[in-house]
Structures are given as C-alpha cells and as structure tokens.
Amino acid sequence: MVTRWIPDDAVKLLAEAGDVVVSPADRPLAPDELHEFVSGASAVVGMLHDRLDGALADAAGPGLKVVANVAVGYDNVDVPALAARGIVVTNTPGVLTDATADLAFGLLLAVTRRLGEGERLLRSRTPWSFHLGFLLGSGLQGKTLGIVGYGQIGRAVAKRAEAFGMEIVHSGRSGRGSVSFEELLARSDVVSLHCPLTPETRHLIDAAALRAMKPSAYLVNTTRGPVVDEAALADALEAGEIAGAALDVFEKEPEVEPRLLGRDDVVLSPHLGSATIETRTGMAVLAARNVVEVLGGRAPLTEVKP
Ligand code: DGY
C-alpha cells in the first residue's frame, strides 16, 4: 500500500514483490482514511506527512512486515512501536544529500541577496532604476556559516560554502570547526539547520537562541519545521534581532506563521529540499527496494533501528 503517488520506476519494482495499491487521493490521508487504506497490507510505503505508528500497524493487521518511509527524516514514524510488533522500518538516506544541500545553499543566497524582494518588486511593476544603494544584500566571502547537524547533508552544505569562500563552524562533536552550540550562534553570519527533529531538537532555535545570534545574521532551515519556534522567529525579526530567514519547512506544515508571510526579509519555499526528478525517483526506488528485500526475506538496504 503506497499512501501517495510515487514515480513509475518504484511502482514497477514494488510490483515484483506483490500487488501494489497507490492511494488515488492527491492529498495526505486523514488518520482514519490512512488506517482504512492500509488494512491487510504486507508493506506500507509512507510519506513524511503520514503518522506511521502502532495504530497504523494495528489497522494493517498481522501481515504487515515493513514500513518504508520515503524520506531520510523519520520523526513521523514511531520506530519503537513498530519494532515491538516485529515490523522493519526503513528510510531513504544518501540519495537526497546533494539536492537538499543545493536547496539550502539556494535559500542562503536568496535571503542574503534579497532575490525574493527583487522578484516581487519587478512582478508588481514597481518603477526602479539601477543605483548604488539599491536592494543591497550581504556578501558571503570571509563570512562564517554555522552548521547545526553535521551529518551527510550538513557536510555537503559545508562543501558548497567553502567554494563560496565562507568559514565553517559546526556542531559536530569533533574535527576542524567543531564548536559549542552557543559559540556557533554567536559567531555565525548564517546559521543553517541540518539536525533531525527529535525531542531534544524541537524548538532548538527558540527566543534565546535567536537573541544569541548576531543582528546581522541569517537563519536557514531545510530540516524540519519544529526545530524552529516560528512565533519566536517572527518576534526576533520584528525586533531586529536577526537580519533574515529562509525556510523550506514549517512548524505546522503546510501552514506558515502568518507574520512571516508578509516579511520581505523572509524567503519561503514549500518543502522542496529533495525536489528534483532524479532525487525523488531515487528516494522512491530506494524505498521500493527496501520493501522488496524485506518481503523477500532479506535485510533491507537502509533500516532504521529503534
Ligand atoms: C526528507 O527526506 O526527510 C525530506 O524532508 C524530504 O525529502
């Protein structure tokens, strides 16, 4: 049972293992619809907007062997509850690293160079002419990028930032550039978030963290919305505590804190981190491979352990 559209390559692969049913609804299923949909499933291929938990497993019934989340993040999955029922859980790491790092860097450029503002100005047909003080942004060369969450995606962002002449500090436990979270906030000209959403990272960027950043600094979030307290972010921007923010993910996705929507110093994109044809196909195919392996009695390629 596949809870939402996936690319054909992945459907074909799944069909090698059994009958494939893809939800025809072009929207997230409500919990009761989702539970009804998965009834009798051997495998569930789910999306980050689905709650994949013990209730879902119970609704599927005793034949459920594998839950494949088509995302690297798995905060929507109750891994211990599924593992306790003997169900294998998988995610899709690796295949989306570059696409997500590219998007994070695109957002970083968009917010520091005021691209959204420039676009809106032209589209609103506002009169303008080139002058030396017009829509000035902030250069990156010699500036410091603070990377919170120094895993595969964080490192890929660091590689891009180095090519732009930025210094890197990160929250990784060791290695060049490793600093405390407090030092990272105080030193960075841009803070980019790449940690998973866990109980420890929920609202990691709260009012105090935002106050600890430089007034000239920018925040970029391409991980999960709840890592940032969006109301506190709106307060901080209103108070001039930071210079701007670029967000691809939202606390109550798909809703966006209304005060952020009207701000020119905020760049917004609708969870597009992995949204390239190649990457989304790679993610779905990896999820499908995991299902085929588990249903074939073999170990999956990318298992999530409790
Ligand atoms: C993920 O994989 O966790 C992203 O948020 C969606 O690609």
Residue whose CA is closest, atom 6 of ligand 1?
71
Q: What does the pLDDT look like over 75-84, one tens digit per residue?
A: 999 999 999 9
Beginning with the edge strand found earlier in the chain, give each strand of the sheet holding 167-170 in spatial order.
167-170, 144-148, 190-193, 218-221, 244-247, 266-268
- Pair (194, 154) in one structural domain: yes
Ligand 1 midpoint to CA 94 (Å) = 11
Q: Which residue has the higher pLDDT, 1 or 175?
A: 1
Q: Using CA atoms, how far apart are residues 85 and 44, in angstroms rounded to an integer?
A: 14
- Pair (250, 115) in one structural domain: yes
Q: What does the pLDDT look like over 114-142, one tens digit per residue?
A: 999 999 999 999 999 999 999 999 999 99
- Mean pLDDT score, 166-186: 96
Q: List the catalytic residue out of 114, 155, 271, 289.
A: 271
Q: Using CA atoms, how far apart are residues 189 and 104, in angstroms rounded to an integer?
A: 15
- Mean pLDDT score, 221-239: 98
Q: List the catalytic residue out of 224, 230, 289, 293.
A: 224
Report the 3 state secondary structure along the chain. Answer: CECCCCCHHHHHHHHCCCCCCECCCCCCCCHHHHHHHCCCCCEEEECCCCCECHHHHHHHCCCCCEEEECCCCCCCECHHHHHHCCCEEECCCCCCHHHHHHHHHHHHHHHHCCHHHHHHHHHCCCCCCCCCCCCCCCCCCCCEEEEECCCHHHHHHHHHHHHCCCEEEECCCCCCCECCHHHHHHHCCEEEECCCCCCCCCCCECHHHHHHCCCCCEEEECCCHHHECHHHHHHHHHCCCCCEEEECCCCCCCCCCHHHHCCCCEEECCCCCCCCHHHHHHHHHHHHHHHHHHHCCCCCCCECCC
The answer to whether position 300 is within a domain reads no
Residues 6 or more apart in contact with residue 98 via CB below 8 angstroms: 156, 279
Q: Is 119 assigned a catalytic role?
A: no
Please tell me the number of Cα atoms within 13 Å of 157 on its side-chain side: 34
Res 294: pLDDT: 98
Sign, Cα dihedral of 203, 209, 215, 221: negative
- Pair (63, 192) in one structural domain: no
- Within 10 Å of residue 25's Cβ, how many Cβ atoms? 13
Res 224: pLDDT: 98
The answer to whether position 73 is within a domain reads yes
The answer to whether position 303 is within a domain reads no
Q: How many domains does the chain have?
A: 2
- The confidence band for 42, taking pLDDT boundaries of 50, 70 and 90, is very high
The answer to whether position 3 is within a domain reads no
With beta carbons less than 8 A apart as the criterion, state whether 216 and 243 touch: yes
Q: Is 253 assigned a catalytic role?
A: yes
Residue whose CA is closest, atom 7 of ligand 1?
274
- Pair (188, 128) in one structural domain: yes
Ligand 1 midpoint to CA 237 (Å) = 27
Percent of the chain with pLDDT over 70: 100
Residue whose CA is closest, atom 3 of ligand 1?
73
Is the C-beta atom of 205 inside 6 A of ligand 1? Answer: no
Average pLDDT, the chain: 98
- Mean pLDDT score, 201-223: 98
Domain containing residue 70: 8-94+276-295
Res 295: pLDDT: 98
Res 107: pLDDT: 99
The answer to whether position 151 is within a domain reads yes
Query: How are beta strands 167-170 and 190-193 bridged, if at all?
Result: unpaired
Please tell me the number of Cα atoms within 13 Å of 248 on its side-chain side: 24
- Pair (23, 117) in one structural domain: no
Res 242: pLDDT: 98
The answer to whether position 195 is within a domain reads yes
With beta carbons less than 8 A apart as the criterion, state whether 194 and 150 touch: yes
CATH code at position 61: 3.40.50.720
The answer to whether position 143 is within a domain reads yes
With beta carbons less than 8 A apart as the criterion, state whether 220 and 174 touch: no
Q: What does the pLDDT look like over 58-78, one tens digit per residue?
A: 999 999 999 999 999 999 999
Res 157: pLDDT: 98
Q: What does the pLDDT look like over 246-294, one tens digit per residue?
A: 999 999 999 999 999 999 999 999 999 999 999 999 999 999 999 999 9
Which residue has 């998965």 as its token pair?
Answer: 38
Residue type, 67: V
- Mean pLDDT score, 82-111: 98
